[in-house]
Amino acid sequence: MNAPLSIRLDDDVRTTLAAEAEQRGIGLTSYLRQLAEAEAARLRRERIRAGNEAVARHIAASADAREFCEDWGAASGFGRLSD
């Protein structure tokens, strides 16, 4: 679902962004949408990576977690973590 958003930009910022949008052959609104979508995707990936790192730290610090992962990997056909 798309929802409208209203923002205020300083004249210099608007001029800079409008010039970039024009150079790309799109309107300022479309350019700002692309920027926002790209940043949202980057933030989602960053959150996923942080979660993955937290899981990896937990596994590294917990013998039970390592054993679970090794058993799960072997049952899934992926082998042991040390392979």
Residue 21 CB coordination number (10 Å): 18
Tens of pLDDT, residue by residue over 26-69, are 999 999 999 999 999 999 999 999 999 999 999 999 999 888 88
Domain count of the fold of the chain: 1
Residue 45 CB coordination number (10 Å): 10
30 occurs within a structural domain = yes
Q: Which of 69, 46, 2 lies closest to 78 in space, CA to CA?
A: 69
| Residue 35, token pair as written in the block | 């920027």
6 occurs within a structural domain = no
CB–CB of 59/66 below 8 Å? yes
55 occurs within a structural domain = yes
Is the full-model pTM beyond 0.75?
no
Q: How far apart are CA 78 and CA 83, in angstroms?
A: 9
